[in-house]
Structures are given as structure tokens and as C-alpha cells.
Amino acid sequence: MRSKELSVELTDRIVSWHRSGERYQNMSAALIVPKNTVASMILKWKKFGTTNTLPRDGRPAKLSNRGRSALIRDVTKNLMVTLPELQR
């Protein structure tokens, strides 16, 4: 498939073929999309009941868990480190 996003028509067709009992491999060959894409669309439909992109809940964290643990490692190595030094 050329575009990154699947069209609504294509995802509806994938879901309808899945309901009729069509195999993933046959769907991917007929629609010229990867089998993994067909599987992920069906999984999304089973989980949320729709293939539309739904809004996520909550605000994303400013600092990831990986970044947080890196800061903790730096501070435990040198307890006298200042905030500007950590930010650099």
C-alpha cells in the first residue's frame, strides 16, 4: 500500500471479509497489503469495536521511565551534582 494510513473503505472491507470467515492471507493478497496489517486491523476492530483512531487518555509524561532511571543513576554516582549540570 502506498500511503501509511489505510482508507476507511479498505478497513471496512477487511472487517467484513473477516466476519465472513476469509483467511488473512487471502485478504492480504487481494488487497495488496501486508498480512501483518490485516491482522492488526482485525485485532484493533476486535478490541475497540471500530478501526478509527481513538483519542488516548491522559497527558503524556514529560520524562520517560528510561530517562528517569538515567537521572537517578547520575545522581547516585555524584550526590553533589547541581540541577543545571543534570539538565546539560
**Extents of the domains making up the chain:** 8-48
Nearest to 71 by CA among 53, 88, 49: 88
According to the model, what pLDDT value does residue 4 have?
53
Query: pLDDT value at position 19?
Result: 93
What number is the average pLDDT over the span 7-11?
85
Across the chain, mean pLDDT equals: 86
pLDDT level of residue 6 (50, 70, 90 thresholds): low
Higher-pLDDT residue of 34 and 53 is: 34
Residue 26 has pLDDT above 90, yes or no: yes
